[in-house]
Amino acid sequence: MWNFMDIQLGMAFQDDELVVNAFVAAYAKCGLLCSAKLVFNVIETKIVSSLNALISGYAQNDAPMKALEFFLQMTNSGLGPNYFNIRILLLACSHLKSLHFGKKIHGYLLRNGLEVDPFIVISLLSLYIHCGKSATIRLLFKDMTDKSLVSWNALIVGYSQNGFLYQALVLFCQMLSNGIEPNEISINNVFGACSQLSTLQLRKEAHCYAFKALLA
C-alpha cells in the first residue's frame, strides 16, 4: 500500500521538482529508503541533493553497496557527491574492504581536485589501512600539507586496530620527533600496541611520557 502511495505522490508532484526532491531527502533521512527510491525513480530531472540524500541514507542504514551503486550512477550522469557523502562512501569502502570501489572514488577525487581536503585524506588513509596498502598510505601521509594531531591519530589508530602494530609505534615516535604533542587517543593506542607486542620497555616509556604530560 505504501509503495503505491509513494508512486502516486511522486506522480502528483512530478512537475514540481523541488517538492519531489524534498520528499526524497525526507524519506532518506527517516530511513525509509524504499519509499525514497520509489519517489526518486519518477523524477525526470534528478538533482545532486536527492542523490546525496539517497547515498547518505543507504550508507547510514547498513546498505553500503547500495550507496556505492548510487555514487557510480551519480558520476555517470555527470553529477557529483558532496564532501560529506564522499567521506561516508570512503567509510563504506573501508568497512567492506572494497579496494575496487575505493580506487574509483579516489580517482574521482583526483580528477576533480578534491583530494587536498585534509579530512578527505584522512578518510582515504583509513580506506587503504583497512585494505593493507602500506605503500599508498605512506605516500598519502607524506604528501599531506597539514599534518595535524587528528591526522596523526587517525593513522596510529588505523594501524593499531588493523594489526599493523609496529607501524603504529614507529608513527608515534615520528609524531613526537615532529613536535606533535599526543593526547589520550594517541597514548591509549600505543599502550594497546605495546601490550599485544609484549614490548614492556616501550610500554614503560609510553607510560612515563603519559605521566609527565598528565595523561596517565
pLDDT tens for 165-180 read 888 888 888 888 888 8
Q: How far apart are CA 172 and CA 180, in angstroms?
A: 9
pLDDT tens for 81-122 read 778 788 888 988 888 888 998 998 999 899 888 877 888 998
**Percent composition of the chain: helix, strand, coil (DSSP 3-state, to 5):** 75, 0, 25
Given the C-alpha cell 597514548, which residue does it identify? 187
Q: How far apart are CA 45 and CA 26, in angstroms?
A: 18
CB distance 118 to 146 below 8 Å: yes
Total-model pTM? 0.72
